[in-house]
Each structure stands twice: as structure tokens, then as C-alpha cells.
Amino acid sequence: MLHTFQKKSKTGSKTPKQEIDLVKVRLKAAEEHYQEWIKKGTQ
């Protein structure tokens, strides 16, 4: 799991840009970590 938050508004409120940016940063870090893990497992 990369990130969770509770969205309180049910109509018209967009996800804050700060939350989206944080998810992107965490996803990139998770992808890099996965690639390192794969390399270690195949050696």
C-alpha cells in the first residue's frame, strides 16, 4: 500500500494535488525498490 486518505466530500471535490504528488513519489520509490529486489533475486 502506497498511500491512503479519507475523502470526506461526496460531490465535486477533487483529490488535492499534494496527495496526488505524494502518491507519485511513493510509487516511483516502490518501483525502484522492486527493480533492486528483482536484481538481487536473479543473481
At residue 10, the pLDDT reads: 73
At residue 43, the pLDDT reads: 66
Q: Which of 35, 42, 3 is nearest to 22 (CA)?
A: 3
Q: Which of 15, 29, 43, 13 is nearest to 5 (CA)?
A: 15
Q: Considering the entire predicted model, what is its pTM? A: 0.67
- Tell me the pLDDT tens digit for each residue of 3-17: 777 777 777 778 889
Residue with cell string 525502484: 32
Task: Give 29-37 contacts, CB < 8 A, sequence gap 24+.
Answer: 30/2
pLDDT exceeds 70 at position 27: yes
Helix (H, G, I), strand (E, B) or coil at 1: coil
CA atoms 32, 33, 34, 39: torsion sign: positive
